[in-house]
Amino acid sequence: MLALMGTATSASAAPADKPQVLSSWTQTSASSSNAFHNARGNQGQWADYGFDWSTDKCSSSPDNPLGFPFENACIRHDFGYRNYKAAGQFPANKDRLDSAFYEDLKRVCSQYSGASKTSCNALAWTYYQAVKNLGLKESELVG
């Protein structure tokens, strides 16, 4: 009976490298973003980690403002916020999560040129400022 209980406990515990995996998926680089989205598409492979994959995408803001596809950036940002809050490490990581969000948005905008790129970059800055400033208030409530 004790052997079965020990097995159940270790099976329900998250792998020891969970903090490293979480960190690797929430960096500012394109490779970090790509790794996250690949993992999100194969969530079953990460079931033992107990990540929170839930998202409300861009919350009350449009997911694709003026046709610019910001949705995936919002999804990764939600993932970082929710999982660092669950780990009790949100305040120490918030600035990086917000910066990664902004870099994701700028990568979207880099696909455009001229007035479209200018409009996209302005929206990206607005979205970044919103999470930077409104997210701070949320972190003060949580932290």
With 0-12 / 13-18 / 19 or more C-beta atoms within 10 angstroms meaning exposed / middle / buried, residue 139 is middle
| Percent helix, strand and coil across the chain, each to the nearest 5 | 75, 0, 25
With 0-12 / 13-18 / 19 or more C-beta atoms within 10 angstroms meaning exposed / middle / buried, residue 116 is middle
How many CA atoms are closer than 13 Å to the CA of 39, on its beta-carbon side? Answer: 20
**Catalytic, out of 76, 77, 85, 94:** 77
Tokens at 123, concatenated = 């929206």
Catalytic annotation present for 77 = yes
User: Which positions are annotated as active-site residues?
Assistant: 77
